[in-house]
A and B are shown apart, each in its own frame.
Chain A
Amino acid sequence: MGANLLGGTALNNLFTKPIVAVAAIFYSISGLSQEMPSNALPQNYTPSLTLHNTPNISGVWQSFTTANWNILSHPVQAGPFAEQAGGWGAGRAGFGIVKGNELPYQEWAAAEQKKNYENRAVVTAANDPSRFDTGDPELLCFRAGIPRANYMPYPFQIFQTPEQILIVYEYKGAYRTIYMDEDRPALDESWMGTSNGHWEGNTLVVDVKGFNEHTWLDREGNFASDELHVVERWTPLSPYHMKYEATIEDPNVFTRPWTMSFILYKNVEENSEIKEFNCVPLVEPMFYKPLGFYDEDISSNP
């Protein structure tokens, strides 16, 4: 195999020994500095095609960023409920995925993000919209929205037909349909938005709008409003890698559009498939125990 990256038969070939070896040789004979890209993927990759002749991006994908904790660069942190969850609940340090590592918040919105952070583990169990005032939607098992669903620490599976591309996210089993045949308007607001897509060369470009006003971008409380407009670009880089880029616009929250970018990795295990992650029963105690409705006999305790 050596440095034949195009062969790409095993995921680890792309990252470990061959590249290190090649880099070491280059470094030693040419005196090149650290500018040498140490993990560059082959350029001008031509993806395989589906039966309907579009780039084939089907399969189970996942990001390996820590952006779900914070889309900006961040240190190690203890998680909420650290007194119970300890190391299990803690977050790793990681690079951000935002270009320039800065979010152009309007003044009020910067303050709102801080408030979100402070209340990120506060549950409002109410039978009215005040339940959306506090708590990270992920904590509460609400849909994650776009772009967040793409960098949560859960895989998702892509299915392609000529008319639609379906993405099913393991987190909550939430799905989104990307309409490829003709653009559809966002008839109603939703958590996952309304997606219309088209191919530009090997890049799938998806326009997403029609969001509700409850979108969070991470556990840090970064957020958007119902004016959120996301333009995603999905570009396969190898059979097992895909670049994800998104331009985020929200005139209610930000002073200008901004972009994010990270790599998605394809799961190539023999039994690769997403599983059911139905978190609703897992959060019921959190919602209903404080109201006296969980594991308590209602009739004997009226």
Chain B
Amino acid sequence: MPKKILGFSTHSQTHEVIVSAFILFLMTDAVGQDSPPPSALINQQSEQTLEAARAASPHTSQSTYAYFEDEAKAFIENAIQYTWDPTAPRLTSKKTAWGDPDLGGYWLNIAYVPLERPEEYASNPLHTQEEAVTAFIQWTTRDAAVDPATVHYDWTEFGMDNWQSPIRPNRRTSLITSPTNGRVPALTPEGLARREAQSRRHTLESRGLYERCIQGNQGPPSVPFVQNTGQAQIIQTPDHVILITQANSDVRIFPLNGSNHAPETIRSYLGDSRGHWENDTLVVDTTNFHESRKWNGSSSGLQLEERFTRVDEKILLYEATLTDPSTWETPWSIEIPWPMMDAPRWLFEFACHEQNYGIINVLRGARARAAEYQTTQKVE
């Protein structure tokens, strides 16, 4: 096992697919994904299952942490010099040769800060600098200690844990900046009904779009996933800005020519995006989402506004506002500072569908679990 690990990874396609399928299998509350149907969830997250895996392992969280401790401490020492402070003045943007703000490069959509504000910080949108660092150290330390129950997907070994990236402390207590309580607004009755109808289904089509390799786990909107899978590249010309995400190799093209959205009959999974500059910020409006594309329970009527601002040589600030009156009572907004990826900077082909062995296994597993469950019910 390599001791020294680069801050980026050359994940092979096969590995990506297995990992992505596994993550969706495991992380049922993963942000940005539809919840898998109940048939897939029976037993798999039970404390019994996890405890059995831990008992069977020759390792403990403590012993795995000890292995990486020096590296983790050195990482923390460096990272805490760069705490994200949303109240600090933003530096002037770097400019392209033709005078637009320069957003080009390789960026990482990543955060330890949770999407929704925990109860304990209910009235406290911002940590102090010291609190932010303390929280960051706790997250990092936990991250670097591999749970033996998940050792088959040891992200650290592949250099893919968050602490092996340029992730930084953040004064925010939630990624949600609006509404002011830092929580996703209440679902409308229609949104609630849609979610319940979805969760009652047990077919391939009711599973997450990432798991089916229809799109990646990076939105739109780009909300950090549970692990270090938020690599992205921005390519910029005078007429277009293009956002490419490592996850599923999704490509979003933002024309800057002032053109209108496509007619509403033309709908797509990544939506129809049009961009324009507002001072130093690229503003991208996206609409025309596909009927089958439900982001966190949203409808195809989702209106998305994203704002990209290079606030520092090595920080691209990403902000997004979601408006979908048929799903949420009010619009809501998020803010995530994207650090620049460490060198060497690459994205790799993510041929997900081509090698989606996982979905067949997942569906077979779900069927087996459903059969077990029905047997249990009969006994009782």
Chain B nearest Cβ from A63, distance in angstroms: 21
| B204 interface neighbour in A143, A214, A284, A299, Cβ under 8 Å | A284
Decide yes or no whether B55 CB sits under 8 A from chain A.
Answer: no
Q: Which of A229-254 contact B (CB under 8 A)?
A: none
- Is there an interface contact between B104 and A161, defined as CB atoms closer than 8 Å? yes
How far, in angstroms, from A165 to B373 measured CA to CA in the complex?
53
How many residues of chain A get a CB closer than 8 Å to chain B's CBs?
A: 51
Q: Which residue in chain A gives the minimum CB-CB distance to B42? A: A299
Assess A293 versus B244: contact at CB under 8 Å? Given A143-B354, A278-B214. Answer: no
B268 touches A52 (CB 8 A): no
CB of B39 closer than 8 Å to a CB of A: yes
Name the CB-closest residue of A to B205: A295
A214 to B353: give the CA distance in the assembly, Å: 14
Task: Tell yes or no: B68 within 8 A of A by CB.
Answer: no
A164 to B347, CA, bound (A): 13
Interface assignment of A297: CB less than 8 Å from any CB of chain B: yes
Cβ of A271 and Cβ of B39 under 8 Å apart? no
B347: A residues at CB distance < 8 A: 177
Which residues of the other chain, B, contact A174 by a CB distance below 8 angstroms?
249
Complex Cα–Cα for A187 and B204 (A): 34
Residue of A nearest to B344 (CB): A184
> Which residues of A, 111-162, contact B by the 8 Å Cβ criterion?
125-128, 131, 137, 141-143, 157, 159-161
B15 to chain A, nearest CB (A): 10
Residue contact B205 to A276, C-beta cutoff 8 Å: no
A302 at the interface (CB under 8 A from B): yes
Asked if B204 and A288 make an inter-chain contact with CB atoms under 8 angstroms apart, the answer reads yes
CA distance A140 to B37 in the complex (A): 26
Task: Let me know if A58 is at the binding interface, CB within 8 A.
Answer: yes
How far is the CB of B210 from the nearest CB of chain A, in Å? 11
Query: Given A126-B360, A159-B242, A302-B367, 17 other A-B contacts at CB below 8 A?
Result: A52-B97, A128-B357, A168-B242, A191-B349, A191-B351, A214-B354, A275-B268, A276-B270, A288-B204, A293-B363, A296-B203, A297-B203, A298-B203, A299-B366, A299-B370, A301-B367, A302-B370
Check B368 for interface membership: any CB of A closer than 8 A: yes
Query: Does A274 touch B at the CB level, under 8 Å?
Result: yes
- Looking at B250, B251, B269, B371, the one whose CB has the most chain A CB atoms below 10 A away is B251
**Interface segment out of the listed B27-35, B230-238, B318-326:** B230-238
B212 lies within 8 A of A187 (CB): no
Highest count of chain B CB atoms <10 Å: which of A128, A184, A288, A298? A298
**Of the candidates B97, B214, B255, which one forms a contact with A281 in the assembled complex, judged by CB atoms under 8 Å apart?**
B214
Q: Is B376 an interface residue (CB 8 A)?
A: no
Q: Point out residues on B near A: beta carbons under 8 Å.
A: 10, 12-13, 37-39, 97-98, 104, 201-205, 212-215, 235-240, 242, 244, 249-251, 253, 255, 259, 262, 266, 268-270, 292, 346-349, 351, 353-354, 357-361, 363, 366-368, 370-371, 373-374
Q: Which residues of A contact B368 (CB under 8 A)?
A: 302
Q: A191-B354, A297-B202, A298-B367 are in contact. Are A161 and B236 (CB under 8 A)?
A: yes
Question: 5 A-B Cβ contacts within 8 A?
Answer: A58-B237, A161-B237, A190-B351, A293-B363, A295-B205
If A284-B204, A295-B203, A302-B370 touch, whether A278 touches B269 (CB-CB below 8 Å) is yes
Decide yes or no whether A107 CB sits under 8 A from chain B. no
How far apart are A135's CB and chain B's nearest CB, in angstroms? 12
Q: 8 Å CB contacts to B: which residues of A24-49?
A: none
The answer, yes or no, to whether A280 is at the interface (CB within 8 Å) is yes
Residue of B nearest to A281 (CB): B214
Residues of chain B lying within 8 A (CB to CB) of residue A297 = 201-203
Interface residues of A (CB under 8 A from B): 51-52, 58, 125-128, 131, 137, 141-143, 157, 159-161, 164, 166, 168, 173-175, 177, 184, 187-188, 190-192, 214, 271, 273-276, 278, 280-281, 284, 288, 291, 293-302
Q: How many contacting A-B pairs (Cβ < 8 A)?
A: 135
Choose from A52, A168, A214 the contact partner of B253 (Cβ within 8 Å).
A168
When distances are taken between beta carbons in the complex, the residues of chain B under 8 Å from A175 are 244, 249, 251
A128 to B202, CA, bound (A): 24
Q: A59: nearest residue on chain B (CB-CB)?
A: B239
Q: Contact between B204 and A294 (Cβ–Cβ < 8 Å)?
A: yes
Which residues of the other chain, B, contact A137 by a CB distance below 8 angstroms?
A: 354
Q: Are B251's CB and A280's CB within 8 A? A: no
Please determine whether B39 and A298 come into contact, CB atoms closer than 8 angstroms.
Answer: yes
Q: Please, which residues of chain B bring their CB within 8 A of the CB of A274?
A: 253
Contacts of B238 in A (CB 8 A): 51
Contacts of B39 in A (CB 8 A): 298-299
Contact B235 A159 (CB under 8 A): yes
Inter-chain CA distance A297–B212, complex, in Å, is 17
Query: Which of B37, B239, B353, B366 is close to A280, meaning CB atoms less than 8 Å apart?
Result: B353
Inter-subunit contact B351/A293 (CB<8 Å): no
Q: Nearest chain-A residue to B249 (Cβ)?
A: A175
Residue of chain B at shortest CB distance from A193: B349
Is the pair B240, A159 in contact by a Cβ cutoff of 8 Å? yes
Determine the distance from Cα of A274 to Cα of B357 in the docked complex, in whole angstroms: 30
Q: How far is it, in angstroms, between the C-alpha of A288 and the C-alpha of B368 when the chains are bound?
A: 17
Name which residue of chain B comes closest to A214, CB basis.
Answer: B354
B237 touches A159 (CB 8 A): yes
* Cross-interface CB contact of A127 among B12, B270, B357, B371, cutoff 8 Å: B357
Question: Contact at A190–B348, with CB atoms within 8 Å?
Answer: yes
